[in-house]
Structure 1
């Protein structure tokens, strides 16, 4: 059976303050082995489906549309930076979310749309963030820790969440390419 690697996410167009701090971070970590996310691909994953049988794609689109039809658009604040993994050997660099209540609700609704279709519950608790880079090897993690501490409470960007996108993730040697399969507009109430 043919399948596609899929996920559901929201996008963000990177603006001035986030872009400036991200550039500072890249410059600081220039000599480390980090796979940076392309700014044009920056997204927040709400639900990762993984290998999805192609015969379920249309059903997933319909279920997402049905579940999201009354979920109003909202705004979030990107605030501060952090890492996943041990502080001495972090694995992921991310930008955080200050007001995640609506994102948590959105995650539950997306899960309600997908789980009845035979997909498994996410293995980890939903922790909304924007992944900026994946660390392959880092020489001096203290520089990153200092940067994170210095920028921990800084507001980086306001984002209007007015659509949810069902994506196909195509893995290539140069990095993943994300192809929208369905964009669901959230009503403004």
Structure 2
């Protein structure tokens, strides 16, 4: 049985930041036993997960997002902490977190609203901006949140970057990197 392609909109993480993350991920892999680590080219900030999406709905959403992004200017984001989703002793997601950003919240709201207006049914959980680094804890000992402070590469130096594009990605399960950029929707240049 064939796999259906899944699609999502995300804020692009620039290439130079992915390179910095690559060395951070290599260091973290030595310290933390997670089943899978995200390929550096797949790093992103998810704004809206569409799932198996029909072309007409994706086109309608992209047109709305493109118009909305022309009214948003690029903005700075800062990565400054690590966190987890799932059970504290065996997390399912290990991620890098961002400093609170009103600009990011507005861009996410524009993308989310455009997808709803195009007819998509989206997840209702509150927006928790993050960059997934690894999935599924497989350590013999339980994971403890205290370890996040000990291995946090951002505690002495934040990573900053300009958020400049929303990208529509297609997922290719079983490949690495597994996210293919389908459409790039730029924000207006910053002042």
TM-score, normalized by the shorter chain, greater than 0.5: yes
Does the 8 Å contact 1:4/1:53 carry over to 2?
no
Q: Specify the alignment match of 1:181 in structure 2.
A: 182
Encode CA deviations 1:64-98: one digit per residue, 9 max, x unaligned.
Answer: 11121110000100011111112111111100101
**Structure 2: how far apart are the matches of 1:67 and 1:4?**
26
What are the within-5 Å matches in structure 2 for residues 11-50 of structure 1? 11-12=12-13, 13=15, 14=17, 18-29=21-32, 32-50=33-51
Structure 1 unpaired stretches of 5+: none
SS at match of 1:105: helix
Does the 8 Å contact 1:10/1:163 carry over to 2?
yes
Of 158, 161, 167, 1:159 maps to 161
RMSD: 2.2
Q: Specify the alignment match of 1:84 in structure 2.
A: 85
**Structure 2: how far apart are the matches of 1:20 and 1:179?**
22
**Structure 1: how far apart are the matches of 2:9 and 2:176?**
18
Q: Specify the alignment match of 1:127 in structure 2.
A: 128
TM-score of the superposed pair, with normalisation by structure 2: 0.85
Q: In structure 2, do the counterparts of structure 1 residues 115 and 49 end up closer, same or farther at CA, with 3 Å as the change threshold? A: same
Q: In structure 2, do the counterparts of structure 1 residues 147 and 108 end up closer, same or farther at CA, with 3 Å as the change threshold? A: same
Q: Specify the alignment match of 1:57 in structure 2.
A: 58
Encode CA deviations 1:131-182: one digit per residue, 9 max, x unaligned.
Answer: 000015222234x6343123374443111101111112222x2456222221
Tell me the matched-pair count: 183
**Structure 1: how far apart are the matches of 2:102 and 2:141?**
35
What are the within-5 Å matches in structure 2 for residues 108-127 of structure 1? 108-127=109-128
1:149 aligns to 2:187 (yes or no): no
Larger relative strand fraction:
1
Q: Specify the alignment match of 2:68 in structure 1.
A: 67
Q: Specify the alignment match of 2:170 in structure 1.
A: 168
TM-score of the superposed pair, with normalisation by structure 1: 0.85
**Structure 2: how far apart are the matches of 1:6 and 1:23?**
28
For residue 20 of structure 1, report the CA deviation from its aligned partner: 4.0
